[in-house]
Each structure stands twice: as C-alpha cells, then as structure tokens.
C-alpha cells in the first residue's frame, strides 16, 4: 500500500541507482508545506497490484494537493535505506514507504532528515511530526469478495490461495470465509500457500491454484502480488470441475482486467490509498502529522471491482453487505494469523 505552493503537478520516476542530490529536503518535523511527495515501492508501479495502487494513489493525492510526486519503484526489499535517504535529499517533504518491510528503516531516515514518513503495519512506531502508520482492514474487502463468490460458485467449493505467510493475506482469507458463509453456511474451502515469501513466484502461484481447482474449487480468491499472474493463468487454463462450466478468479489488490484475456476475472479487492495520502499531506501542512495513525476501510478506500461476470442480484447483496459493514451492523472477524484464518476456513 502510500507534496503546495506550486502551480503545476509533475511525476518523476527515479531509477534505483540514481546519484543522490546535494541538497537536503527543506521539510521539518512539523508544519512544513508538502511541495514534494515521495514514494518508494518494492516492485514496479505498473504491476496491476499493491505497488501500482500505491503509486497511482500518490499521484492522485499529489495532483489534488498541487504537489510534485517523485516515484522510486522496483527497488526490492534489501538495503533500501539509500533509496529513502536519496528521496529525502531530493527535497521530499513527505515520504511514503510502500511496503511493510520498510517500516523499521523508514522511521530512522525520518529522524535523521526530519522528513515525515508513512509506513505500514507498525502502529507502535507512530511519532509526532515524523511517523504515521497505515493499517488496513483488508478483511472487509475480502468479506465482500466472499459474498460474491458464494453466489457464483456451482460446485459449492471455493479456493483460497496465498503466496506467503502474510498478515494481510490471513486477514483476507478469514474475511473471505466469513463473507461466503454469510450467504451459504455449508460452503466448502480448499486452501493452499506457496511458501513463506512467494509474493512474486508466478510458477508457484500457478501450481497451488491448480491444486485447489483439482479439489473442486470453481471460484479462486488469490493473494499474491506477482504470483497472482500465475494464479490467473491457472484459472484461465483450468478444466472446470463439474458441474461448473467455468472457473473464476478474484484478485486481492488492483485491477487486472487489461490482462484478463479469457474473461475469468470475477472481481478484485481494490485499495485506493488516495484519501489517506491526501489526509496525511494536509496533516503535515497543519503540523499535526504523526498525532494519529490511519486505517483503510470500506469507508475510505477499500472496494470491490464490479464486473459483468455476476448477475445484478449478486452485486445487490455485495452492496448490502458493504452498507452493513459501514454501519457497523456487520462485524467482520479479524484473523491476523494462519491459525485464526484456518479456524474459519475449516
């Protein structure tokens, strides 16, 4: 998941090996105007997933707040401190560290350069003027995906495939199960996981997805970043289990409609960080950044991609569930561990 006095808006892509600029950013720890928003991301910003959603949201927030946006993407997870330092040295007044794996290094850079940073999945690192954390109620979007999947399945069996041992993946697996069971209490699940960190393992994604389809799943909820492309390929080439005529795929983050050549993308959980990034920019300008952390929910960024692969009646139930979550009538269970998710899936 991710800059004001200027009369123009600019997006600048920065190669990972770029030479550091000489001037240290003019931002201070409180009350600085955000004229330049920086975002650093582990994968490229055109991955149809987490990184693209983060980069596009940063660009949208920068445009809304009349700030220059500097993008440094595809930098991986190892030794990312130089990239963060360069971003500060280039004059970024706010830096989005678009990976939970950056949540230890980014606060160190923030303290050194007095530049506010946004991190993920480490709320205890919040620091006035310097660090604010984003947590995601990703289980809410997955609940909606489960409501949809349960209405589309013909076999009564849904597949849940994960690329890694990831808190967000487990939260979504549990939310998906709860949403599906709210429609069909006796629905079955087949689950598989690539490994501990198979985020970009497309071959592994294809393999584990094939295994759940072979076990009877005709709708697959796939969580994988780059591995999602392998999951999608497995669905595209699958022989549908009887009595299904087709196998469908629900993606975890981003809109892959442009690469869905076989018409199997039933939906996707969309994560729009724009409202939170915009709120963070305004907080920096007001000198209140770091007073609070942020939480992405169905109220401020999480939604379900609507396609024509399900009838209007199914989408009506999805919309009703979304309204129930927003009002508090529906409480989506939180399953941040594999054990917690498994209890709902079994």
Q: Is residue 20 part of a domain?
A: yes
Quote the number of domains for the chain.
Answer: 2
Task: Give me the residues of the chain with pLDDT under 50, please.
Answer: 1-30
Q: Is residue 187 part of a domain?
A: yes
Q: Is residue 6 part of a domain?
A: no
Same domain, 284 and 258: no
- Reference 137, options 296, 20, 255, 21; nearest CA is 296
Same domain, 127 and 161: no
Same domain, 146 and 132: no
Q: How far apart are CA 33 and CA 56, in angstroms?
A: 21
What confidence score (pLDDT) does residue 200 get? 87
Question: What range does the domain containing 228 cover?
Answer: 138-270+311-345
What confidence score (pLDDT) does residue 32 get? 67
Q: How far is CA 311 from CA 207, 274, 303, in A?
A: 30, 30, 18
Same domain, 34 and 99: yes
Q: Is residue 339 part of a domain?
A: yes
Same domain, 205 and 60: no
Same domain, 60 and 142: no
In this structure, what DSSP letter does residue 185 have?
T
Same domain, 207 and 324: yes
Q: Is residue 5 part of a domain?
A: no
Element (H, E) at 203: helix 202-214
* Spatial strand order in the sheet of 11-13: 11-13, 68-72, 36-40, 94-97, 117-120, 131-136, 294-296
- Dmax over CA atoms of the chain, in Å, equals 65
Whole-structure pTM value: 0.86
CATH number at residue 118: 3.40.50.2300
* Token reading at 249: 């795929």
Same domain, 196 and 315: yes
134: CB partners within 8 A, 6+ apart: 1, 2, 118, 119, 120, 273, 276, 293, 294, 295, 296
* Spatial strand order in the sheet of 219-223: 188-193, 157-162, 219-223, 248-251, 265-271, 302-304
Q: Is residue 4 part of a domain?
A: no
Q: Is residue 1 part of a domain?
A: no
Same domain, 106 and 61: yes
What confidence score (pLDDT) does residue 199 get? 87
Rounded (5°) CA angle 209-215-220: 40
Same domain, 197 and 315: yes
Give yes or no for a contact between 218 and 153, defined as CB atoms under 8 angstroms apart. Answer: yes
Q: Is residue 174 part of a domain?
A: yes
Give yes or no for a contact between 150 and 309, defined as CB atoms under 8 angstroms apart. Answer: no
* Token reading at 312: 């209007």
Same domain, 153 and 60: no
What confidence score (pLDDT) does residue 18 get? 39
Q: How far is CA 108 from CA 82, 89, 118, in A?
A: 12, 14, 12
Q: How far apart are CA 252 and CA 232, in angstroms?
A: 11
Same domain, 251 and 277: no
Residue 298, Cβ density class (10 Å: 0-12 exposed, 13-18 middle, ≥19 buried): buried
């Amino acid at each position: 998941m991710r800059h004001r006095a200027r009369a123009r808006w600019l997006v600048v892509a920065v190669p990972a090996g770029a030479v550091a600029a000489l001037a240290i950013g003019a931002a201070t720890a409180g009350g600085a105007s955000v004229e330049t928003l920086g975002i650093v991301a582990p994968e490229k910003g055109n991955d149809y997933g987490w990184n693209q959603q983060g980069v596009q949201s940063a660009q949208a927030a920068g445009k809304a707040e009349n700030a220059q946006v500097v993008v440094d993407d595809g930098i991986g997870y190892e030794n990312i401190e130089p990239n963060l330092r360069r971003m500060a040295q280039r004059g970024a007044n706010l830096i989005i560290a678009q990976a939970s794996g950056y949540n230890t290094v980014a606060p160190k850079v923030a303290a050194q350069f007095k530049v506010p940073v946004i991190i993920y999945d480490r709320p205890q690192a919040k620091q006035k003027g310097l660090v604010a954390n984003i947590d995601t109620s990703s289980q809410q979007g997955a609940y909606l995906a489960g409501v949809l999947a349960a209405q589309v399945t013909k076999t009564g069996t849904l597949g849940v495939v994960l690329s890694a041992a990831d808190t967000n993946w487990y939260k979504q697996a549990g939310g998906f199960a709860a949403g599906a069971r709210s429609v069909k209490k006796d629905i079955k699940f087949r689950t598989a996981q690539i490994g501990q960190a198979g985020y970009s393992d497309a071959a592994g994604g294809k393999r584990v997805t094939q295994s759940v389809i072979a076990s009877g799943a005709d709708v697959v909820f796939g969580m994988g970043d780059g591995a999602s492309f392998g999951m999608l390929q497995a669905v595209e080439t699958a022989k549908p289990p009887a009595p299904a005529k087709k196998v469908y795929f629900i993606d975890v983050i981003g809109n892959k409609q442009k690469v869905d050549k076989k018409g199997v993308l039933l939906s996707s959980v969309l994560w729009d960080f724009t409202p939170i990034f915009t709120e963070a920019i305004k907080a920096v300008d007001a000198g209140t950044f770091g007073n609070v952390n942020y939480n992405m929910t169905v109220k401020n960024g999480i939604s379900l991609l609507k396609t024509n692969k399900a009838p209007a009646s199914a989408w009506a139930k999805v919309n009703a569930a979304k309204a129930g979550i927003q009002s508090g009538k529906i409480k989506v269970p939180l399953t941040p561990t594999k054990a917690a998710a498994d209890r709902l899936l079994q």
